[in-house]
Amino acid sequence: MRPFSIAVSGKGGTGKTTLSALLVRALVDAGRTPVLAVDADPNSNLHEALGVRLHETLGCMRESEFRKNIPPGVARNDYIELCFRRALVEEKGFDLVAMGRPEGSGCYCFANDLLKTCMTLLRRDYRFIVIDNEAGMEHLSRGTIGIPDMIVIVSDPGTRGMRTAVRIRDLARSLGLSSVPVFLVINRFKGTDASAVAWEPFGVIPEDPEIEAAEIAGLPVGSLREGSIARKAVSQMAEKIIAIANEKIRD
Ligand SMILES: Nc1ncnc2c1ncn2[C@@H]1O[C@H](COP(=O)(O)OP(=O)(O)O)[C@@H](O)[C@H]1O
Ligand SMILES: [Mg+2]
């Protein structure tokens, strides 16, 4: 099985985690399981948005301990897979893994290499992978998440947000990801001026008071009621993504 992976990017606070969580839910609801949710933001909070508990991140594996702990006779990759499985949170229809932050100072090569191996080992088990990235393009530029099938840039409707979206798109291209389609999603749209739109948006998520209510009540955004405007908008987006994935499989 070759999974279809979606990297969600954008500047801080635009709604990457919100979209990622709603997208995971929408893909599960559409029966496109199993889905892997990857939290690639060092300040992991995708689990909260999905309402699941996280006990370990991959980043906390240190090189020294890692080498020391490999049981005799166990191959390196088998051990990586074992560690990975330990960090994996299994839910109905989806699993979640958080990359966390590599510990200590100095070279991150080991952690990056480990993440890369993990992702390669993991991929084969899933139909869809949704990656919630940090504001930068760190994991995309370091190659830890591999080459995604599509990049979704989340932006607020304002001019400044759009400028950032264009910058991220250009950055993705300069990182050798020019073959990857980059889509724009406008979030928190209030039905007003859309003249600033940088390029034809793939989806628009309206400002949804139910998201704010969930935030205040400390409830996971992933469990918004089905009829909520944000959930409806993301379900439509999921349908489009499924169609693109089907198209890609046929090719
Ligand atoms: N469509 C929306 N309507 C209302 N509030 C939203 C919407 N999308 C995101 N938010 C709120 O905006 C804040 C930032 O969203 P978040 O997904 O955490 O952004 P990011 O992951 O990009 O930093 C959160 O408080 C979230 O509840
Ligand atoms: Mg986030």
The string of pLDDT tens digits covering residues 43-64 is: 889 999 999 999 888 776 666 6
CATH fold for the domain made of 4-250: Rossmann fold (3.40.50)
> Which residues pair with residue 151 across a beta bridge?
7, 182
d(CA 46, CA 25) in angstroms, rounded, equals: 12
Residue-averaged pLDDT of the chain: 88
Instruction: Tell me the mean pLDDT in the region 208-217.
Output: 96
Q: Are 75 and 19 in contact (CB under 8 A)?
A: no
Tell me, what amino acid is at 79?
Y
Q: Which atom of ligand 1 is nearest to the CA of 18?
A: 17
β pairing state of 89-90 and 203-206: unpaired
Give the residue from 120, 133, 112 showing the smallest Cα distance to 40: 133
Measured in angstroms, how far is the CA atom of residue 124 from the centroid of ligand 1? 31
Which range, of 62-76, 175-189, 200-214, averages the lowest pLDDT? 62-76
Nearest alpha carbon, ligand 1 atom 15: 15
Q: What is the pTM of this model?
A: 0.93
Nearest alpha carbon, ligand 1 atom 25: 215
Reading the block at residue 117, the tokens are 């191996």
Q: Where are the domains of the chain?
A: 4-250
Note the pLDDT tens digit of each residue in 79-113.
878 878 888 999 999 999 998 876 665 556 676 77
pLDDT at 198: 74
Tell me, what amino acid is at 141?
S
**Pocket around ligand 1: residues whose beta carbon is below 6 Å from it?**
10, 12-18, 187-188, 205, 207-208, 211-212, 215, 230
d(CA 79, CA 99) in angstroms, rounded, equals: 17
